[in-house]
Structure 1
Amino acid sequence: MTSVLKILESLEREDGLEVSKLEKSLKLTKKLDRDNLYIAIKALSKLGIVQYINDEKLTVNNELGFIQGRVRCSSKGFCFVVRDDQGEDIYIREANLNNAWHGDSVIVLITKPAVKRRAPEGSIQCILNRYNDTLLAKLDSNKSTGEVKAYPLDDRIPVIIDLENDYDNKKIEQEKDLIYEIKIINYPIAQFNARGTIVRELSINAGIEGDIELLLSKNNISRNIIAPKVAPKKIPLKGREDLTNQPSLLFESWESSNSPSLPALFAQPNEGGTRIWIHSPTVSERINIGGKLDQFLKDRGEVNCLGNNWLDFLSESLRSASQFKINEVNEAISLMIDINSDGNITNWKFTTSIISPVKTITPKHLKAINNRKVTSKSIPIALKPVKDNLEVIYTIIHSSKLINTNNITSIKLDEQIPNLERLSELKKAFPGRDFHGWSKTYDNCDSQSIIDIYIRLSNNILAKHLMGYELPFIYKEHEEIETSSINDLTKSALALDNNINVNIDGNVTISQLINSFESSNQKKILHKLVKHIIPGIHLKLYKVNFYAENDMGDNIQTSNIESPWCCPTLNYWNVFNQFILTSLLNEGKNKPSSRSKVIIELGKKDSWKDINWDVFPSKIQENINTHSNLKLVQNLNEIRKKSKSFRNNIISIAQCREAQRIIGKEVEAIITGVQSYGFFAEIDDLTAEGLVHVSTLGDDWYEYRSRQNLLVGRKYKKTYQLAQKVNVKVLKVDILKNQIDLELVKDEDKESIKTNDISIDIESDNLS
């Protein structure tokens, strides 16, 4: 099926494209598909989205002020279009949605400009690409006709789907714990409902694997993207630096057999400082950018942790070829970094290489090192297998602490994940990942927490290197936290713990604020408050002249910008940046002419300052420019949103399953958030939050005071505020919505429970 988006992407050229060539570009061979293309062209022409040049060639009409974006709806019925060009969001009234659903890529026309604090209003002209081709739904029968229809579980898509399957009404009544995955055959048009077919039944109570299937379908993540039958390219060893004599180490915490492969490390003292080597598995050299295997990786986008297992990102053949193997020769892309005794970078060099890692360092080794006395001469049993590598390990740990101390820009917070077997892999640090806008606090007993320090440093170095060569790359942009939010957080922190040392008269950064929480006994609650105000990060494209053309200004701060590249087994943006780097190292011209005796090492720090010629031949430069486009980054950001949602969901559903076990039981909890409609309390053993609704607090009329973050009873002046400990009962757990309803256990309830216990004892004595 061809989307309007694919049609417009094929037409994005000044000289236009003939319809016959458009058919070839879209690979349309069937008459029905070609007829549908003509219908689409006719409709797009009437809307003014495309136009003919000289009655022969089609091109996109850029003169009418159409804007592309994605639909974002709320469960309350409010809809906006988030613009691709990062402009102000456009409000869409229900009558102007034109059957667009939440997540769809659309073209919108502004009908009312923004006025004061009101957002601009618009009307959706055309749906470019549908976000959902399958969705989860409940079935219900129409009481008047008896027809069975599907109703999406996602309340942001309030539509009715007519089903093509014949379905028994009695089964709907009998199987109430079933939900259904619906494949959309026809989307709604005019007065006609969407039409779909039931793909499969999913039970709400099918165990851990059933929960995972529910969440994958809910977040529109497919297990069934089939890898093309394309073998990875073989990498020639000629020209690669031989580092096989270097005893490099793998630092891994994940234990699953299909967990992603991570970089190898080596470190040694060097001129009063340390020389560090980061060796990355090479993926970009094994694929053709723009080829079938490359497209497969783009569609996959990112690896997903299933709790104690993984949904892989690479194809099996690519994974096997690129994964580092102990005591074997492995192709790598290596970065050498020199740091001084203060942890500051003095030099670096990128190179293609071959390595041979000698050992895997696990948390078991690091805990033994952490518990070992400095003066001890004996080697614990746990360290016997790595005794020959202890000096390297100590150097790596020491340098990571030094670099971490110097890095004041990244936000590090504690992460509380329940200690459940089904979440075992999620509890370990995920190197380089921080789509929440923060990463886990440094832990020298977690192998991947150590390697995370080096990965982030390497990402920062690559950004500086590629900017020096004026090459494009994808980078992570941290959105700024509003000053007012920091001020409100400071007030809340002081209200919770007046011993916190914060200068409320000066400008306090979020990092300074977090550091002030370290000694507080309310650190856990304070970290939760910080997470609420961090807006997160998104991917962006750096490209020379791109900012000037879009009037955005080049305001990138190179001190903390990260361009991910050394974990290509994790996601596609690492692969893309690695492709740019390997293109420079393998295809870049390192001398002005073939006769020149001056050779520049293109991977060395500041080497770009000595270049006064075109680094790439025109064909390679054109290939790089073609694949460095905004559409790629937009699609990757959508994939990241799915991954973030899935990760949050898989933790929440595990917590809800545990909460189901204690329905009706009294448990201790701590208040973690207060709103006008009630307060959220975290159950101690589960780290799961539930809501105590204000309507269940029947002993008084409670008012919400936002400045103090508390509820106050008007009559008895009883208060409920942050960090207050309460006793609650679990009333209800909604697995599909990840919601836990709590009820406060009041003092009088406890007394009645005690009285009942006494009466039961008396009765039992009488019976005896």
Structure 2
Amino acid sequence: MPDFEKKILDYVTRPGYTPVREKALLKKVGGSKSTSAEFEQAIETLRARKDILVSDSGLIRPVKKEGWIAGTIKKTSSGAGYLIPHHKPDDIAHDQRHAGDLYISERDMGDAHTGDEVYATVINRRRSGGQICGRVVEIIERASTTFVGTYFESHGEGYVHVDGKIFNSPIHVGDPGAKGVSSEDKVVIDILHFPSKDYLGQGVISKVLGPHGKPGVDLLSIVYEFGIPMEFPEEVLIEAREQASLFDEAKLGNRRDLTKETIVTIDPADARDFDDAISLTRNEKGHWLLGVHIADVAHFVKEGSILDREAKRRGTSVYLPGQVIPMLPEIISNGLASLQEGQVRFTKSAFIEFTAEGVPVHTEFANSAVQVTQRFAYEQVLPIIQGRDDEGKDVSAEVRELLKNMHHLAMILRGRRFAAGALELHLSEVRLTFDDKHRVSGAVEREHDESHQIIEEFMLAANISVAEAFNDRKLRFLRRVHPSPELPRQVAFAEFVNAMGYTLKKAQSRKDLQQLIEQVHGTPVEQAINYALLRSLKQAEYTDEELGHYALAVDHYCHFTSPIRRYPDLTIHRMIDEILERPDKGKGQSPQGLRQLGHELSLRERRAESAERELTKVKLLSWMIENNIKTLKTMITGVETFGLFCRGTDVPVEGLLHISRLGKHDYFHQDAAKFSIVGERTGQEYRIGDFLTVEVEKIDLDRRELDFRLPSSKKVAKTSNAVPSRQNNKKSAKKSSSKTQPNTKKKSRKVKSQRSKKKKRK
């Protein structure tokens, strides 16, 4: 067996080594496909010993000099920030007050920015609160080199204000008019030199998206900002069409024919793809036999094909307000693999046998073919089950009986889940509505009644049963895990709950958490406590490690039910094929790169969620500007030393009520123990969960900032979508080695070089 550990270290520490990914390194050190398992084990061992570092994109680097710490940068608007270490050295890990993060001042930040992976060192300086300080010494990998912003001109030179708060100063893009760009156009730029405390950044315009404020430009801005691929390459579309031409619904092969079975789908009324269907019968023992039938995407998307590589690159469908960017071409996602009513479709079926009490006793898999008997929208189901809808008279007795049985079993399974310790947060979820120009026209709260819970319980049951079946076979697969929360976060949450007037005896007890969630349900503090609990939990992710799923209270869990829109589900479907083809010889997914694949797919998922969140914010702020919204009813969702974060109760938008806007004749300070801000003279207290009517002071659309003030303020509220220059423009430009700098007066509009009142944000 090759000594891969030594070979890898020798290779990555040689002079002039350029970081490569696992597949390339395997060849460089003399490995092959047959030795890939030993190679990957060596990589994992070296990572665990901290001899090598694998970046988010998979590049392998040696850990540098002793004392260098690798991590990710998170900057604040002041220019300072924090290093969040990948592996925390003991001296930092023991600094419990700051969760082991390393504080880095603006002067020690260099040109590192939020999201960058860097090396840093601890320096001989402490903050006033005693926090350990550090200095960035080397950039490992940039979070991105492509950004979106608004173009403007000054003194015959072109500049771009990058959207968001990542840069405080504009980026110089050279001669004006490149690519036909005009002032206030939204553009995509590639950074050539990143800005620092002393120098302006430099970049080049790669694409002009269109005039600021033009319908559709906000969507394109977010898509390019997050690097989300929209159009499919032609070769991918060609392969998808070929799969469509090969599909013959009459040729079932060895598939189990379920086309005569009573099978239904239940989805949102506006759903475009239908990837899951349900059947439910009883056997001679009186046991339930639940059939969860999922679109067989693996039949059309072969491993290693052009379609597969594109799906892996995307990782997930992206659900943006008003538009879906699919993982697969629509001929597959909305056609071949969509379980449409009355159409024969190929599926992967999981048949789960339950006792009358809802105890699972057996799981069986099959490649199958179904023909959905009837499609239902969520809104139609509950009235039919309860026998109070005239439309139900047009539904056959067989289908009505199926829906009632589904409801009965789902409620049994739901009760068993919560008895086992599962957690369900009660968080209000708002859905935006749009006009024909994709502008926000309103917002409505999403319902989550028992019709939704039926499908939710069956999908959870299928995911759990598949994972347990794989685990029983000792297969290695891509799990969906939710690690247990860290004790300090649990303790902090318990303190918060006590400050709100409730008691959480054991912060680590799921039973106590369940009781608390039910106790506050329907009360004014329900959302505050549920959001606080959510923030205390870790993020779910994909990995091969057996970490369990904390919120669901299960040891084994995976994603099986949505292969149209999630790549991890597709990997699970391929494993089912392996089990069906070789029941006794299946080994599961190849260990090479499985953990890295999970890491990459987790990042793709978070990218999609961030893009949805940011575009929602942009559209809501635009709606507020267009409708001249001046007053909002809000709830306080966060308390910081510099002010209060307030979220609209009717409009799901969050803004900052700065501490300076709480009153001129009082001094307010944070009471961390009570999660509040208190006035020293008046005793006026504002705490998380309080409801507050606020006025809109300013909207900065490009920075995606919303500032509030109390109604008692005499200043006139302003809402403007003008693009202000970033903080410290003038200071940065003066220090720049460039001879040009942005002019503070432009023909098209005025751009202030520095905000008149600098608000501290984190």
> Residues 745 and 737 of structure 1: is their aligned pair in 2 closer, same or farther, counting only changes over 3 Å?
same
Q: Between Structure 1 and Structure 2, how many residues are aligned?
A: 640
Give 1:527 shift. Answer: 2.1
The answer to whether the aligner puts 1:528 opposite 2:531 as a matched pair is: yes
For the residue of structure 1 that corresponds to 2:144, the secondary structure is: coil
CA distance in 2, matches of 1:80, 1:693: 26
For the residue of structure 1 that corresponds to 2:274, the secondary structure is: coil
Aligned to 2:225: 218
1:337 maps to amino acid: I
> Residues 504 and 349 of structure 1: is their aligned pair in 2 closer, same or farther, counting only changes over 3 Å?
closer
Based on CA coordinates, which of the two structures has the bigger radius of gyration? Answer: 1
CA distance in 2, matches of 1:700, 1:105: 43
Counterpart mapping for 1:636-651 below 5 A = 636-651=601-616
Contact 2:164 2:703 in 1 (8 A): no
Give 1:384 shift. Answer: 1.7
Contact 2:468 2:557 in 1 (8 A): no
Contact 1:186 1:195 in 2 (8 A): yes
CA distance in 1, matches of 2:488, 2:82: 27
Give 1:572 shift. Answer: 0.8
The answer to whether the aligner puts 1:583 opposite 2:578 as a matched pair is: yes
Give 1:494 shift. Answer: 4.8
1:74 maps to amino acid: K
Aligned to 1:443: 449
Give 1:200 shift. Answer: 0.8
Give 1:487 shift. Answer: 4.2
Give 1:253 shift. Answer: 0.6
For the residue of structure 2 that corresponds to 1:314, the secondary structure is: coil
Contact 1:225 1:300 in 2 (8 A): no
Q: Which whole-Å deviations, capped at 9, do the CAs of 1:373-407 have from their partners, x for residues lacking one?
A: 5xxxxx61255245540110111112112212222
Sequence identity (%):
15
Give 1:298 shift. Answer: 1.0
Match of 2:681 among 704, 708, 715: 715
Give 1:126 shift. Answer: 6.8
For the residue of structure 2 that corresponds to 1:196, the secondary structure is: strand
Contact 1:711 1:721 in 2 (8 A): yes
Aligned to 2:406: 396
Give 1:709 shift. Answer: 2.4
Give 1:445 shift. Answer: 3.6
The answer to whether the aligner puts 1:336 opposite 2:339 as a matched pair is: no
CA distance in 1, matches of 2:323, 2:108: 43
For the residue of structure 2 that corresponds to 1:644, the secondary structure is: helix
Structure 2, unaligned stretches of length 5 or more? Answer: 1-16, 33-50, 54-58, 94-99, 435-439, 717-762
Match of 2:458 among 439, 443, 454: 454
> Residues 352 and 113 of structure 1: is their aligned pair in 2 closer, same or farther, counting only changes over 3 Å?
farther
> Residues 629 and 158 of structure 1: is their aligned pair in 2 closer, same or farther, counting only changes over 3 Å?
farther
2:275 maps to amino acid: L
> Residues 171 and 463 of structure 1: is their aligned pair in 2 closer, same or farther, counting only changes over 3 Å?
closer
Aligned to 2:275: 262
Give 1:674 shift. Answer: 2.9
Aligned to 1:303: 317
> Residues 289 and 202 of structure 1: is their aligned pair in 2 closer, same or farther, counting only changes over 3 Å?
same
Counterpart mapping for 1:136-175 below 5 A = 136-141=148-153, 143=155, 146-156=156-166, 161-163=171-173, 166-167=176-177, 175=183
Give 1:269 shift. Answer: 3.2
Give 1:744 shift. Answer: 0.9
> Residues 636 and 501 of structure 1: is their aligned pair in 2 closer, same or farther, counting only changes over 3 Å?
same
CA distance in 1, matches of 2:314, 2:415: 36
> Residues 514 and 125 of structure 1: is their aligned pair in 2 closer, same or farther, counting only changes over 3 Å?
same
> Residues 366 and 82 of structure 1: is their aligned pair in 2 closer, same or farther, counting only changes over 3 Å?
farther
Aligned to 1:27: none
CA distance in 2, matches of 1:61, 1:484: 32
Match of 2:292 among 237, 259, 278: 278
| Root-mean-square deviation over aligned CA pairs | 4.4
More displaced, 227-236 or 345-354? 227-236
Give 1:98 shift. Answer: 8.1
CA distance in 2, matches of 1:169, 1:347: 63
> Residues 536 and 716 of structure 1: is their aligned pair in 2 closer, same or farther, counting only changes over 3 Å?
same
Aligned to 1:683: 648
Contact 1:111 1:121 in 2 (8 A): yes
Aligned to 1:365: 380
Counterpart mapping for 1:183-582 below 5 A = 183=190, 194-207=202-215, 209-226=216-233, 228=236, 229-231=238-240, 237-256=252-271, 259-270=272-283, 271-319=285-333, 320-369=335-384, 372=387, 380-382=390-392, 384-385=394-395, 387-408=397-418, 409-418=421-430, 420-422=432-434, 443-446=449-452, 449-496=453-500, 498=501, 503=505, 507=509, 509-518=512-521, 520-542=523-545, 559-582=554-577
CA distance in 2, matches of 1:4, 1:425: 52
Q: Which whole-Å deviations, capped at 9, do the CAs of 1:481-524 have from their partners, x for residues lacking one?
A: 2344444434544554x5x5754699564334323322535323
Contact 1:679 1:691 in 2 (8 A): yes
> Residues 560 and 210 of structure 1: is their aligned pair in 2 closer, same or farther, counting only changes over 3 Å?
farther
Give 1:202 shift. Answer: 4.0
1:134 maps to amino acid: T
Q: Which whole-Å deviations, capped at 9, do the CAs of 1:541-562 have from their partners, x for residues lacking one?
A: 249xxxxxxxxxx888993432
For the residue of structure 2 that corresponds to 1:148, the secondary structure is: strand
2:459 maps to amino acid: I
Contact 1:659 1:730 in 2 (8 A): no
> Residues 336 and 673 of structure 1: is their aligned pair in 2 closer, same or farther, counting only changes over 3 Å?
same
CA distance in 2, matches of 1:581, 1:736: 47
For the residue of structure 2 that corresponds to 1:261, the secondary structure is: coil
For the residue of structure 2 that corresponds to 1:264, the secondary structure is: strand
**Structure 2 length-normalised TM:** 0.72
For the residue of structure 1 that corresponds to 2:590, the secondary structure is: helix
Give 1:332 shift. Answer: 0.8
Structure 1, unaligned stretches of length 5 or more? Answer: 19-47, 51-58, 374-378, 430-440, 544-553, 591-613, 751-768
More displaced, 478-487 or 276-285? 478-487
Q: Which whole-Å deviations, capped at 9, do the CAs of 1:161-188 have from their partners, x for residues lacking one?
A: 553664289986xx44x43222457889
Give 1:241 shift. Answer: 1.5
